[in-house]
Amino acid sequence: MRKGKIRGVRYLTFIAMSVVTIFLLGSLVALAQGGEHVDVVTVKGVIDPLIAQYVGRGIEIAQQDGAQCLVIQLDTPGGSDGPMRGIVQDILNSTVPVVVYVSPAGARAGSAGVFITLAADIAAMAPGTNIGAAHPVGITGVITGTMDEKATNDAAAYARAIAERRGRNSTWAEEAVRESVSITAREAVESQVVDLIADDLADLLEKIDGRSVSTAAGERILATKGAEPRQVSMSLSQQILHAIVDPNIAYLLFTIGIWALIAEFYHPGAIIPGMTGAICLILAFVAFGSLPVNWGGIALIVLAVILFILDIKVAGYALSVGGAIAFVLGSLMIFSPFAPSTPTMPALTVSRPLIAVMTVLIAAFFLFALTAGIRAQRARVISGIEAMVGATGVATSDLDPGGTVQVKSELWSAVAEGGAIIRKGERVRVVAVEGVRLSVTKE
């Protein structure tokens, strides 16, 4: 009996030791492989505050999870100055190597993208991409005068400082700002603006393997060959907000919100149009907070709505024509040439086809509503005592000129129009109603 207990204890001890051994071996393997991955963030579109948060979060994750490096896949026309500088600072102060990879083929690192690429520990481009054109611009074009000189000098000094920090071609960096030069991937490598050309992410990781880079934490030698790429995605809220911070989406949300609220006002209690309109307008104004909005353009769109509504109440189409003109002008001006300038923001406008489609749809809706209103005003009344006009009946007494008639199976006091005499039994037609007395003529 005692031997059986001893065997049981030994058996349990063996199982426990086996579990512990497996756990320890698994931990050692995990530790050994923990650095054999790279984190990847994908930046596509305008550089805005949400993109800056996304890149900053990617750098934090890469620093915490032991990634060999963070790869920023970049395709941007430019963006706001503040978020761009925030990204550059995060890259320069990162303790994990940051690789900026302009990809895929056809992508660009324009305007603000130039500064971000220059700041990378390793800068790479895919074939068929380009970099440059970082001259200071306003929201819808090149700025001029004293503001142009100040913005240009500031941006040129910033680009030159970043390039010198990373040992890149500072002369070209300054030319990209002052002369808006733009070069291909091959030219960028030859000019020492970027370090290499890579066909894809796997090719990039193989080519940078073994390279030594200087980070805020000291020298690091990359071991990226065969490393696992781990995509760092935006949070759902960031994805939604970044999607609406687009001139076309913001414009669409604003116009849909206005029309939905108008529908709610015309049909109180419908709820769904009002709720939809409120949500769309709130999202539109959230987007406007990150975009260079011209409130004069907003005012013209609101004026167009007022003119369309008023034209429903009056005869004619003049107000609708004025409303269409105001709507088109407001749509073209909604992102204004008078908004504050920035050295890195690309021109922002609403798509011309989208403006045309929205104008046609809105004008068609209000013209339909206007035509329906005019038809309703001209239609014969079909209810109430006024509906008696045009009805026929028979005289139940002589009308000389007054008497009685039977119309629609009811007996009415009536008078012959124009003092005529209508005999009992003759057919009559109602031509007018005066109070409760009918004015009739002989049918």
Residues involved in catalysis:
111, 150
DSSP 380: P
- Residue 53 CA, chain-centre distance (Å), reads 18
Contact present, 72 and 101 (Cβ < 8 Å): yes
Q: What is the dihedral of CA 76, 334, 351, 142, to 10 degrees?
A: -50
Helix, strand, coil percentages (3-state) for the chain, rounded to 5, are 50, 20, 30
Going by DSSP bridges, is the β-strand pair 228-231/70-75 parallel, antiparallel, or unpaired? unpaired
Pairing of strands 70-75, 98-102: parallel
Phi, psi of 330 (to 5 degrees): -65, -40
> CA angle 44-45-49, nearest 5°?
100
Amino acid at site 239 = Q
Kindly provide the residue ranges of all beta strands, DSSP E only, lying in 34-165, ordered along the sequence: 37-44, 70-75, 98-102, 108-110, 122-125, 130-132
At 126, the amino acid letter reads: A
Strand bridging mode 410-416 / 402-407: antiparallel
Q: What amino acid is encoded at 317 in this protein?
A: Y
Measured in Å, how far apart are the chain's first and last C-alpha atoms?
126
Contact 407, 430 (CB under 8 A): yes
Contact 125, 194 (CB under 8 A): yes
Contact assessment for residue 236 and residue 338, using Cβ atoms and an 8 Å cutoff: no
| SS3 category, 142 | strand
Per DSSP, helices labelled H in 170-235 are 170-178, 185-190, 201-207
